[in-house]
Structure 1
Amino acid sequence: MSQNKLYVVALTIVATLGGLLFGYDTAVISGAEKSIQAYLIESQGLSTLIHGLTTSSALIGCIIGGLASGVFASKFGRKRTLMLAAILFFLSALGSGFPEFLFFQRGEPSIGLLLVFNFYRIIGGMGVGLASAVCPMYIGEIAPAKIRGQLVSLNQFAIIFGMLVVYFVNWGIANGQTLEWINNIGWRRMFLSETIPAGLFGILLFFVPETPRYLSLSNRNEEALKILTRINGPKIAGDILEEIKGSLKHHASRKLFSFGRKVIIIGVLLSVFQQFVGINVALYYAPRIFESMGAAKDASLMQTVIMGIVNVIFTVVAIFTVDKWGRKPLLIVGSAGMALGMFAISALAFMQVIGIGTLVFIIIYTASFMMSWGPITWVLISEIFPNKVRGKAVAVAVAAQWAANYFISSTYPAMMEFSGGFTYGFYGLMSILSLLFVWKMVPETKGKTLEEMEQLWEK
């Protein structure tokens, strides 16, 4: 049995590389965005709005990838969809680091070069969108029931760990270098560094199987049985296959609102609030926020690394407490902590007080998010929808999440230009609204089977 567990863990580690790349690609822009602003935007006399749109352009791809994930995973399989994501990550890393390839002269920024850079970032975003939906799906379908929750949670850990890794990489590239070197060469190396995990992910995927559920869905039951036997042992593999075949036989496609609008609205609002509280502003613009407090370039990147370590620690807290304390208590506590952090930062910004206090409150804010809304939103989205509409409903919720992410991230520079205090106050208000939403509308799912959740919505 230990060999089976080792095999499942090995498959999970390969799949979570997709989560790591999700985090890596999302956060790599944090160290490069000021250089991109100097090299591609200010040199053309373009506005802060264009800067915000460029920084967030990958999110357009995330929306596309999220919407397409269900179709690709159903038609081509989970494994091939992850392979496609790996290719997109690799191409995006190369193109973002050297957007001049084929059509432009290096060292001569232009509007055309800016558009090509955004194109490559959108390609990477499509990889993120696919990975964000299909990595948890692959792990969930390959894992034995008893350890499925823990293994799926590892994907969220991998996302945050990928962000931490790229914070270290960005800091290591910029450390000790001149601003001119960073603005001309350093930002390129930050993007190119992603080719290493993307290449590793693509190679390792050749050595993992397709999921038994997809194989059974494709009438490849003998292959499915072989994989189930290796994972679960010969005694119960046949029983599991019969359950899968039975669920597929009785599966009937249902319209999105078959169980009413409330469950879809709750799923979408969970996704939207996860972004409207402003977390990706802290992740994308962390070095800029710290520099605005008076930190030097190197110091601001180091403070970002500290924040990344805090993120990892508190994500682990969520993994070990979500099945003990429940989803709702963690979300409510997290919302309260985020509101405290953001309102405090807002007050400090209005008073123009710069100091260690701001760093402390950013850490309180991000820690509160990572122990609650970060991982638990994904847990709820995976379990709150009834079986018969889950595929469609998850696609809608994931697309809404990336759309909200794009809106919040792209408007941040213009909002900050208007008022820093107002901007952080807005995210604090969203944290309060998220608390009220969870308290009033979100059901507790701890200990409930998926079938019990379905009965809840049928009532």
Structure 2
Amino acid sequence: MALGRRNTMIFGGCIFFAGGAINAAAENIAMLILGRILLGIGVGFTNQATPVYLSEMAPAKWRGAFNTGFQLFNNMGVVAANCINFGTAPHPWGWRMSLGLATVPAAIMTIGALLIPDSPSSLVERNHINQARNALRKVRGPTADVESELQLMIQSSQVSKDMERESFVAIFERRYRPQLVMALAIPLSQQLSGISIVAFYAPNLFQSVVIGNNSALLSAVVLGLVNLGSTLVSTVVVDRLGRRVLFIVGGIQMLVCMISAAVVLAMGSGVNGTEQISKGNAIAVLVLLCFYTAGFAWSWGPLCWLIPSEIFPMKIRSTGQSIAIAVQFLATFVLSQTFLTMLCHFKFGAFLFYAGWLALSTIFVILFLPETRGISLDSMYAIWGKHWYWRRFVVEGYVDLCWDLFPPLLDEVVVVGNHTRGSMIVDNNEWKDLRHWRCNGGVMTSEPQRRRFGCKIWRF
């Protein structure tokens, strides 16, 4: 947060550019390793800052589409990289061009970040209120009334600053347990779905089903195009259908494809994987992997970036996104190092392994992930207080936080349920549906509490 989202993207882009340049000019293995390390650092910085920036800049009703655009352009880069690899593979200098062209997106990233304002939330957090107001007007329009949104950010920031602990310590507090669990579980589940295996080892997978060496890179291009097209679909529907629907339907689609691919491989190559697979079975596996990739690209792929960027309060938003990115990259590394060994030992069973994780992940989403569509970042706390399971964690912290944050905006606030078990904050839009509860045992808080909160508080 000290740098801000914009400066973090600029810094990451510069390191990204340096890594690509060193790789292109590499004269030995040490230079290649150094270049890859710098690339990893640069990508880490930009992947941490960019989704959060998009979520903070976008209106709540379009936040999913804007953030999904991050994955869309990632997939464009994957397709471009696969096409470049395919075109330069026959040439002895092809690897230099392939690695060196990483400087192009790095330059675009850096220059683009120089031309945009920092996010209003980041500016407010650093006490640049006037700059935050100007940034809001740029993205909402010069005639838009941005003061209410700005005041909400200021109040949220003030409450966050009153926290006694730093963000890397505070994120482990009980009241942030739901967000922390999601920041760990969603990226881990994404990688355990098996997508990185398909992406990293597409040439090996297609070669193992007798498509041939010359077609291996082309097959990666095909999967990349499927990925790109499906992500575009996600951009259109994510704010209409909601996050949960995409997670669940996409997870089921991927699960069916994984199990079907395992069955085809078992039938084609035998239980021990010793028989030659037929061309028909090879094509069937290719089609199933394409449908699997499509299911991932419009669900778990983009949503893995979106959810962590929108569920955390301002104070720990950067920390939460950093943890999610670290988990994703660590899981990618471990799985990419172990998949070929798993494939050799378990044959088609490797696909069943990932199918099992897909089933568990989909059930996890059904039970524990609340819908975040259309909810402003500064009001995101409410979804956890209403959830059947997570409310037991957030009530002790978030209810007190809400009292400090929202009374200036409300005339009356209702708390439903036992304070130690769960609660629900009700804003003015929902208050009219609960007015009759006043006659059913509602007790107003004491006068000192009323003065502290600045509004009437009814507890049931």
> Considering the TM-score relative to the shorter chain, is it more than 0.5?
yes
Partner of 2:23: 96
Q: 1:218 aligns with which of 121, 126, 142?
A: 126
Moved over 4 A (4+): 386-389
Partner of 2:83: 168
Q: CA deviation at 1:359?
A: 0.6
Partner of 2:449: none
Partner of 1:9: none
Contact 2:24 2:100 in 1 (8 A): yes
Partner of 1:3: none
Matches of 2:146 and 2:362, distance apart in 1:
43
Structure 1 segment 25-424 matched on structure 2, within 5 A:
74-100=1-27, 104=28, 113=29, 115-174=30-89, 177=90, 181=91, 184-231=92-139, 232-251=141-160, 252-253=162-163, 255-256=170-171, 257-259=173-175, 261-350=177-266, 351-352=268-269, 353-354=277-278, 355-386=282-313, 389-424=316-351
Matches of 2:211 and 2:130, distance apart in 1:
61
**One-letter code aligned to 1:242:** Q
> TM-score by structure 2 length?
0.73
**One-letter code aligned to 1:87:** C
Bigger CA drift: 447-456 or 301-310? 447-456
Superposed CA deviations along residues 87-107 of structure 1, whole A, max 9, x for unmatched, are 12212222233332xxx4xxx
Contact 1:387 1:450 in 2 (8 A): no
Contact 1:228 1:237 in 2 (8 A): yes
> TM-score by structure 1 length?
0.73
**One-letter code aligned to 2:155:** G
* Aligned-partner SS, 1:99: coil
Q: CA deviation at 1:150?
A: 2.3
Q: CA deviation at 1:262?
A: 4.5
Mapped pair 1:455 → 2:382: no
Partner of 1:46: none
* Aligned-partner SS, 1:91: helix
Partner of 1:434: 361
Contact 1:267 1:397 in 2 (8 A): yes
* Aligned-partner SS, 1:210: coil
- Structure 1: tracts of 5 or more residues without a match: 1-73, 105-112
State which structure, 1 or 2, has the greater radius of gyration over its C-alpha atoms.
2
* Aligned-partner SS, 2:145: helix
Superposed CA deviations along residues 279-299 of structure 1, whole A, max 9, x for unmatched, are 011111212222222234442
Matches of 1:142 and 1:263, distance apart in 2:
21
Contact 2:66 2:235 in 1 (8 A): no
Matches of 2:94 and 2:199, distance apart in 1:
19
Q: Which has the higher contact order (CA 8 A, sep 6+)?
A: 1
Give RMSD over aligned pairs.
2.5
Partner of 1:59: none
Matches of 2:64 and 2:369, distance apart in 1:
20
Contact 2:2 2:126 in 1 (8 A): no
**One-letter code aligned to 2:385:** Q
Superposed CA deviations along residues 122-176 of structure 1, whole A, max 9, x for unmatched, are 22112222122211222233334453332222112111222122122222223xx
Size of the alignment, in residue pairs?
367
Superposed CA deviations along residues 376-425 of structure 1, whole A, max 9, x for unmatched, are 23232233345554443333232222211111111122223334323222
**One-letter code aligned to 1:307:** L
Matches of 2:6 and 2:372, distance apart in 1:
29
Identity percentage of aligned residues: 29
Matches of 2:43 and 2:130, distance apart in 1:
32
- Relative to its length, the structure with more helix (as a share) is 1
